[in-house]
Amino acid sequence: MHTLRTPDERFEGLPDFDFEPHYAEVPDGVGGTLRVHYLDEGPASAAPVLLLHGEPSWAYLYRHMIQPLVDAGHRVIVPDQVGFGRSDKPAEMTDYSYARHVDWMSSLVFDCLDLGDITFFGQDWGGLIGLRLVTAQTDRFARVAISNTGLPTGDRRPSDAFMAWQKYSQESPVFPIGDIVNGGCLTDLSAEEVDAYNAPFPDDSYKAGARIWPSFVCTSPDDPEAPANREAWGLLEQFTKPFLCCFSDSDPVTQGADKPFRARIPGAQGQAHTTLEGAAHFVQEDSGPELAAVLADFIASTS
C-alpha cells in the first residue's frame, strides 16, 4: 500500500488549533502499518470522551469543543481518520473500504489506546464508523451521543440531498475540501479556516480517501457492509446504556435520521434529546460550544 503523509508545516499556525499531535501505528490490512494521528487533551486519569469526525473534515472540526470538555474535567480524544488530517493517506481509492476504516479505528481505540469507560460522539462518518465500534466492544463504552449521522443498511433510499452529494463526490472534476466544509455550515468560515480544512491535502493526490468515502455509504441492501450494519442495528436494539441524539435543525442530508435511533434503542428512551438550532451539517462549526455543553450535561446526568 503506497501512502502519502502531509508535511508538518501544512499544519503550522492554524487558527484556534494549538493542540499537541499524538501518533500511533495501526495495521494497514495488507501487511504494513499506517500512522494515525489523534489529539489527547485533558487529565489522563479521566474517563475519555471520543470525538470522531466524518467527510471530508478532520480533527480541526472539533477545535471549539475540546477546551470546554476539558474544562468540565474530561479527557478528550480526537483522532484523524485514515486519509484525513495528519493521519497517513493511502494513495489509491481501492485501498479504502468501509470495513478497513472500522478496522483502522478499532486498532487505534481498542489496541493502541486501550480506552474504556468511553463517552462516544460521532457525526457524519464518525457515526457510521463509531457505532460499529460501539457494537463490537460494548463493554468499553459508558454512553453514546450522535449528531447528523446514521447507520444505513440500504433498505431505505437515502435523501435526495445525500444522493446528489454522493454523485458529486465521484464525478466532479475538482474536489475543494475547504469549500465543501464551508458549504455544509450556516456560519461563513473565514478564509483562514477554509485553508485549515485544505491543509491536509497539498494536492489532489492526497484526496483519494475523501473522494471515495461517500460511495461506501450503504444505499442498496446488497452493499458490502449492509449485513454488518444490520448486525450492528440488532445489537443497538439491545443497547441499554444512555444514548443521546443531538442533531441540528438545518441539515438536509440527515434530516429525520435521528428518529430510528430514538425509537429503536432502549438507552435512548427518556433521554434529553436535543435539536441544535441554527446549525447545518457541520454542527461542530455552527454550534460547537453549545454542543460541548450538551455533551457535558449528558455525561453529568448519566454518571
Query: Exposed, middle or buried by CB within 10 Å (0-12, 13-18, 19+), for 273?
Result: middle
In Å, what is the CA distance from 99 to each residue of 129, 145, 153, 267, 284?
A: 9, 22, 14, 26, 26
Mark whether 22 is an active-site residue: no
Strands (E), the chain: 3-4, 22-27, 33-41, 48-52, 75-79, 89-90, 118-123, 141-147, 243-245
| 233 contact partners, CB below 8 Å, separation of at least 6 | 151, 153, 264
Give the number of other Cβ atoms within 10 Å of residue 23's Cβ.
Answer: 13
Mark whether 286 is an active-site residue: no
The strand pairing partners of 123, in sequence order, are 147
Active-site choice (80, 95, 103, 124): 124
In Å, what is the CA distance from 213 to each residue of 37, 103, 192, 202?
A: 19, 15, 25, 19
The strand pairing partners of 23, in sequence order, are 37
Preceding omega of 56 cis (within 30 degrees of 0): yes
281 is written with which cell numbers?
451539517
256 is written with which cell numbers?
429525520
Mark whether 188 is an active-site residue: no
C-alpha 273/C-alpha 231 separation (Å) is 25
C-alpha 213/C-alpha 178 separation (Å) is 16
Active-site choice (223, 251, 258, 286): 251
Q: What residues are labeled active site?
A: 124, 251, 281
